[in-house]
Amino acid sequence: MLLRHTTAAVAEREALTINPAKTCQPIGAMYAALGIHACLPHSHGSQGCCSYHRSTLTRHYKEPVMAGTSSFTEGSSVFGGQANLLQAIANIFSIYDPDVIAVHTTCLSETIGDDLVQIIAKAREEGSIPPGKMVIHTNTPSYAGSHVTGFSSMVKSMVGYFSEPSDTRSQTINIIPGWVEPSDMREIKRLAGLMGADAIVFPDTSDVLDAPQTGKHVFYPKGGVTMPALRRTGESAVTLALGPAASEAAAKALDVKCGVPCETMTLPIGLQATDRFIDAVRQYSGRGVPAIIEEERGRLIDVMTDMGQYLQGKRVALWGDPDQLVALSEFLVDLDMKPVYVVTGTPGKVFERRMEKALQGRVPEAQIRQGATADMFLMHQWIKQEPVDLLIGNTYGKYIARDEDIPFVRHGFPILDRVGHSYFPTVGYAGAIRLLEKFLDVFLDRRDRDDPEERFELVM
């Protein structure tokens, strides 16, 4: 029992996070920046931050993750990191030659008070930024928000640095996919494409963090949203922000800066959220929904009806990021399942209200917690008080799954011990079928393992 010390009784903790359901901002900024083509993320802080983020992203994606660091020393912590960043920018352009350097700060450089705008201006003055190249930045103090906030801030910075106001409106739809997998971004582009929409998806990590084996290490893989595309986001007809926590800030900034109207939606995970997404794209693209998408939807509902009996009434505990949790919960309720415990370490105003809506009044016993002490330890204590039938969340759930012997489906970030998330989406109708398959697999495998011989069934 790895978590043998966890007690069922919940003692209110004033401080202290045990087994967190979040991590810090900079890694989110790094992940978002990797969704720009030929961009080198840069961590303005100590060397360890960058190393940890790269290692974690590498463990999740099984891909090389490139990023620079200002390599702070004791000197920089006293005198500020300007000299380091100036040197870094010059070095990076001369050796690694990216199109964009996307700098994010850390708790260290934030507390020192480095002024990134001024430092970047100085780098330009000194001629270290070649013509046509860009250095962008975002502020990601680790002591505020979470990895989701950091992601959101970097996407917002993309708007701030690139999007250009325009007198004319194009037919293009901006889609901000939120912190989802490369596979999900690919699926979102496929769905938009099927509906004939001209879409700019940003950031876009497909073909970056799911790159094929080619016998070469490609420093900047072919994927990622390009600088020209980012500039054009300012003249698009609309922005669809998928998930308020990860995407809304950028969409609103784009509205303010360039007058592109925006709509914030639930991540298209599950039936209803995908319906709303498809409907929104349909409205703005002005074309109908093609039969192929109708059929995908039909197949999803077919699986829901065929296998519903194995899912009904199952109690589920979920943890992770707010946008995913809301979408998953809505889908679970549509499957007649009960998301009873929901925990996110990411702070934010609208989460609880959105969760309430997602539960559709059908899970009165649900316990929802967010913020500092909303962690895996609390989740485990709840489970000890009254168990659940299924766990859904990132890899860190495996301790609870093992100790309490509960079926476990991995979803979210990070997944350090399985593959598939990079390649198979969970958004869209096809993605929902994949989720269903995963739920059913863990439930039915369990029955095949645990049912007494006389109850063991061939057909299920």
2 binds another protein (CB under 8 A): yes
312 binds another protein (CB under 8 A): no
Which of 69/426 has CB closer to another protein? 69
Which of 36/155 has CB closer to another protein? 36
Which of 65/333 has CB closer to another protein? 65
Q: How far is the CB of 285 from another protein (least distance, A)?
A: 20
Cα(424)–Cα(411) distance, integer angstroms? 12
Written as six digits, the tokens of 321 are 């990021």
Which of 211/327 has CB closer to another protein? 211
Which of 11/459 has CB closer to another protein? 11
Q: Nearest-5° angle of CA 271, CA 277, CA 280?
A: 140
- Binding pattern for the stretch 186-225 against another protein, x by CB under 8 A and - elsewhere: -------------------------x-xxxxxxxxxx-x-
Q: Which of residues 99-138 bind another protein (CB under 8 A)?
A: 106-108, 111-112
Q: Which of residues 317-356 bind another protein (CB under 8 A)?
A: 345
Find the part of the chain contacting another protein (CB under 8 A) among 59-67, 155-163, 285-293, 450-458.
Answer: 59-67
Find the part of the chain contacting another protein (CB under 8 A) among 65-73, 238-246, 249-257, 274-282.
Answer: 65-73
Which position among 27, 158, 260, 435 is part of the footprint of another protein (CB under 8 A)?
A: 27
Q: Is 88 in contact with 60 (CB distance < 8 Å)?
A: no
Q: Which residue has the tokens 């829901």?
A: 304
Phi/psi at 242 (5° precision): -90, 105
Q: Which of residues 224-253 bind another protein (CB under 8 A)?
A: 224, 226
Written as six digits, the tokens of 220 are 């900047």
Q: Give the strand order in the sheet containing 134-138.
A: 68-69, 39-44, 100-105, 134-138
Which position among 79, 91, 169, 291 is part of the footprint of another protein (CB under 8 A)?
A: 91
Which of 91/283 has CB closer to another protein? 91
Which position among 17, 166, 171, 264 is part of the footprint of another protein (CB under 8 A)?
A: 17
Q: Which residues are 69's β-sheet partners?
A: 43
Q: Which residue has the tokens 């609208």?
A: 350
84 binds another protein (CB under 8 A): yes
* 188, containing H or E segment: helix 182-194
Assess whether the previous peptide bond of 203 is cis (omega < 30° from 0).
yes
Which position among 54, 104, 354, 369 is part of the footprint of another protein (CB under 8 A)?
A: 54
Find the part of the chain contacting another protein (CB under 8 A) among 74-82, 236-244, 362-370, 404-412.
Answer: 74-82
Angle between helical axes of 25-33 and 147-162 (0-180°, round to 10):
40
Which of 107/242 has CB closer to another protein? 107
Which of 399/424 has CB closer to another protein? 399
| SS3 sequence of 388-441 | CCEEEECHHHHHHHHHHCCCEEECCCCCCCCCCCCCCCCEHHHHHHHHHHHHHH
Q: What is residue 113's DSSP assignment?
A: T
Dihedral, CA of residue 273, residue 367, residue 248 and residue 246, to nearest 10: -90
Q: How far is the CB of 81 from another protein (least distance, A)?
A: 9
Which position among 29, 33, 67, 293 is part of the footprint of another protein (CB under 8 A)?
A: 67
- Binding residues for another protein, how many (CB under 8 A)? 92
Residue 8, C-beta contacts closer than 8 angstroms, at least 6 positions apart: 381, 384, 385
Q: What is residue 203's DSSP assignment?
A: S
Q: Which of residues 391-420 bind another protein (CB under 8 A)?
A: 396, 399
Which of 91/360 has CB closer to another protein? 91
Cα(81)–Cα(73) distance, integer angstroms? 9
Which of 112/254 has CB closer to another protein? 112
Which position among 29, 34, 35, 69 is part of the footprint of another protein (CB under 8 A)?
A: 69
23 binds another protein (CB under 8 A): yes
Displacement of CA 459 from its chain's centroid (Å)? 38
Which position among 10, 62, 287, 288 is part of the footprint of another protein (CB under 8 A)?
A: 62
Rounded to a whole number of angstroms, the CA Rg of the chain reads: 23
Assess whether the previous peptide bond of 407 is cis (omega < 30° from 0).
no
Which position among 74, 167, 365, 453 is part of the footprint of another protein (CB under 8 A)?
A: 74
Displacement of CA 146 from its chain's centroid (Å)? 12
